[in-house]
Each structure stands twice: as structure tokens, then as C-alpha cells.
Chains A and B, each alone.
Chain A
Amino acid sequence: MADINYSIKGEKLVIAIDGFVDSANAPQVEEKINEIRNAEPKNSIEIDCRGLKYISSAGLRIILRLKKAVKDTVLTNVSSEVYEIFDMTGFTEMMEVRKAFRVISVEGCEVIGQGANGKVYRIDPDTIVKVYLNPDSLPEIERERELARTAFVLGIPTAIPYDVVRIEDGGFGSVFELLNAKSFGKLLSSGDKSVDEIAKMSVDLLKLIHGTVVKEGSMPDMKAVALGWAAFLKDYLPEDVYKKLYKLVDDVPYDLHMMHGDYHIKNVMLQNGEVLLIDMDTLCHGHPVFELASMYNAYVGYSELDHEIIKNFLGIDFETAGKLWRKMLSLYLGTEDEQIIQTVENKAMIVGYTRIMRRTIRRKGFETAEGRAVIESAKKHIIDLVSVTDKLTW
């Protein structure tokens, strides 16, 4: 016996099959599916197999015909037993068959962290689960896990990204190795490590990241993103400045070296002498100017007008952050020549303030006095720096 139900998810028709599909009921099952398709013609079909216990060859032929009629047909929430049937018959090669998530309970587990999106629980001595309460976050969770996995296999030191799981009380979670580590932010604010020590360790890891080449398409291209930021400012900058800015970004060569995208002292940890990277959702590839731009913003740009921002964000004061940034830049470039450091900082600032200006405008910055001050300041920096810069690379 089988129960067939359906729902519409955006442009997708979701058909749920519960129970057993065999030669006895296959004709009725197919008839029911065709009825639903006639009522709701869509170019995308998801067969939700959550309740599917067994499927015989007659049932497989229904899916085969469905796949032929609607190319974008996928099977989801497939149990391990039913997955084996799809696997043995070659269906997993022919179409997307997604296994059901492992279900775990976090009841009684120690809460070891609380973020904006949910809580982090320790589920056994070696693993934690980051739970996301919003069920729509699944694609984002899977994307982050895939990026972390790609980086891990390339030798970037980070926690082992395990599987994505369904949480018994609702929501999804991402399982990671438990690290017994302290963030660079904590080590710095507690005085355990000096600015120079933190700068040295940060730059060593940064060079390892930037020395790693990724496969095309495995991570976003930062240049394309930055071009988008520049293009956004078309109506907000003098025409000649805008044109020069766009050309500067556009002239940066395509580059497949990895970058972290949000590299600051909260995202780097020290465990037993080993430096580890966390928060891999921003991983991308591109020329280092884009990384330096995001670092400039984290340490200086975002809190330039309001020094309190950095205290809340990184737990250190504006002056310390500025020193750390300058020290890192000097180590990264391998020089103490102030003029060289300044030239590269200018390039990072151009991209950094482009991002800040766009972000502030998009967040309705024109409606508040603080917002207008940030926009004006970013605009002034861009105008000044663009006039003295002829390329963003070095």
C-alpha cells in the first residue's frame, strides 16, 4: 500500500510517497502521480521518499518515466535501505538521489556556544553540532560544509567537517570536530600573546591559505563579487571616479588562489601550538588585495568613525587593532619600508571602502546621520585614493 501526497515549493512540485510500491499497486501509484502532474504542471519535481519503505522494479519504472518526462526530477530523504535499491539498480548514477539525514538528539547535551543562527552543542567527547533553527538554512549549511571539506582536503588546518544532520526537535545541524582551542582574539585581549606574536602566526597561516590553489568552480570568485560592489556605486560617485574604480577592479587578474574572506582574530584559533582556521562559509578565491581589503575593514575601516564598534566586534581597542593590522601587512609583504606598505594599504582601502560604501547605502545609511557620515567618509577615501593609484596589484 502506498499513500501519495503533494505540495508546491516555489516552482517545484513535491510528491511524497509513503509505504510500499510494488507490482500490485504500481499502476495506481502512477495514475495518482499523473493526476497530480496534470493539476500542477511544473518543470521541477522532488520525490520525497521519507516514508517510502520499499520499491520494486515496477515502481522504479514509474520513476524512470517521470525522469524522462521531467528532466529535473530528484529523489530526497531516501532511507538507507531504499537507497541501496537505487544504488544497485544504477539510479544513483542516472539522477540525484539524496539520502535522508541522520537524526540526532541534542537533549541533555552541553551547550558550548551561542551564535546568531543557533546553538552549538557538544554531542560526544570529540564532536560538536552547530544547530540552525531556521529550516531554510539547509542549503547554506550544506554550502559551508562543502567549502570546509574542500579546504580541509587541500591541507588547510581546520576542524573536521562531518555530516549534516536533522535535529530531533526541529532544524538542521552541522557536525564538526571539537577543538580545544583559544581564539587569537582571546589570546590577545587576555595578554597571553603579544600583538607581534599574533601578527606572526596570523600571517604564517594567511600565506598558507594564499599559497593554496583551488579548482575552478569549487569556491566563489572574489573578483566577480568585488566588481559587483564597484558597479553598485555607479550613481553615487563622480563619473570619472566611478570609471577609474571599476577599471582598477576589472584589471585585477583572475586568480585561483584560495582566500578566507573574513580573516580576523576571532576566526583563527590556537590549539596545542597548532594554528587553526574556523568559519569557512566565506572561503573564495582571488588576488590577495581582496583579502587585505576585508582585513583592513575588520581592523580599521568599519570602526574608523566609531571606535566602539571594534571593541564589541573583536574585543580589542581601535589602537591595538591598527597596530596589529600594520604589523601583519609588513610581515605579509616582507618589508618594513613604510612607503611600500602604504601603497599596498591604499589598494586594500580602495576595495575596502567600496564595500563599506555599498553596504551602508544598502542598509539605508542615507536615512541616518551616522550612515551619511560613513558614506561621505568612504566616498572621500575612494576619490582621494583612486586618483593616486593606477593598479590594485603589486
Chain B
Amino acid sequence: MTVDIIKNENEAVILVAGRIDTATAPDFENAVNAVLQAFDNVIFDFKDLDYISSAGLRVMLRSQKSINAKFGTLKVINANETVAEIFEVTGFSSIIDIE
């Protein structure tokens, strides 16, 4: 898994490639937390994400909670079919803004 961050004026784009699973979720969370400290608005660009496990979804859930606490916005874009399906079937698509 690789994480790239594009910092714009008011928002950060977090580009994730590969797999977020049990092994990589802690690194993913560290990278996301660093962004959440500096930005209220984040976009997760998942165009190169192949898979997200429950450990990864829990990071998303915690991110959404901390964004809610500071009245920011969180958005997921470009999820492929597999990843979109995971968000859909778990009910996450009703909690997280997925485009």
C-alpha cells in the first residue's frame, strides 16, 4: 500500500494505492491522522485502491468521527467496483459520503 497526499489550500486529497488490510491499516491510520490534524476537509481518492478490509473501514469510521467533531467534510471518490461494493454491503455508504 502507498499513500500520497496532495495539500490544497482548504483541503487535502489522500491518494491510496494497493490494499488496506490488517497489515497496512496501522500505516494508513498514521498517515490519515497526520492529515486530519492539519485539515478539516479531506478527500480520499481510491482510484488505485484494490481492497479495503474491516481494519481499514474502522480507520475510515474513526476519521469520519473526528471530522464530524470539527464540522469538516470527508469524501470518498473514484472507488472501484470491489471497494464500492464493500462500502455498500457494510452500510458504510450511508455514513460516509461516497461519490
Contact = CB atoms under 8 A, between A and B. Distances in A.
Contacts of A274: 22, 55
* Residue from the set A126, A160, A276 with the largest chain B CB neighbour count within 10 Å: A160
A272 B92 CA distance: 23
A155 B65 CA distance: 10
B22 A152 contact: no
B53 A149 contact: no
Given A155-B61, A160-B90, A162-B89, A126 B51 contact: yes
Contacts of B65: 155
B33 to A, nearest CB: 16
B54 A159 contact: yes
Interface in A151-186: 152-153, 155, 157-163, 177, 180
Interface in B24-68: 26, 51, 53-55, 57-58, 61-62, 65
A271 interface: yes
A177 B23 contact: no
B23 A153 contact: no
A258 B11 CA distance: 36
A150 B95 CA distance: 12
A157 B95 CA distance: 17
A155 B58 contact: yes
Contacts of A159: 54
Contact of A272 (B23, B57, B61): B23
Contacts of B86: 160
Interface residue range, chain B:
20 to 34
Contacts, number: 46
B53 to A, nearest CB: 6
Contact of B54 (A150, A152, A163, A273): A152
A157 B54 contact: yes
Given A126-B51, A160-B53, A271 B61 contact: no
Contacts of A153: 61, 90-92, 94-95
B92 A177 contact: no
Contacts of B26: 272-273
A152 B54 CA distance: 9
B22 A161 contact: no
A152 B90 contact: yes
A274 to B, nearest CB: 6
A177 B91 contact: no
Contacts of A276: 54
A61 to B, nearest CB: 32
Interface string B1-32: 00000000000000000000111001000000
A50 B62 CA distance: 41
B90 A149 contact: yes
A150 B91 CA distance: 8
Contacts of A271: 22, 55
Interface string A190-225: 000000000000000000000000000000000000
Nearest to A146: B91
Interface string B74-89: 0000000000001001
Nearest to A176: B54
Nearest to A271: B22
Residue among B55, B86, B95 with most chain A CB within 10 A: B55
Nearest to B55: A274
A274 B26 CA distance: 10
Interface of A: 126, 149-150, 152-153, 155, 157-163, 177, 180, 271-274, 276
Given A149-B91, A152-B90, 7 more contacts: A126-B21, A126-B51, A155-B65, A159-B54, A160-B53, A160-B90, A177-B54
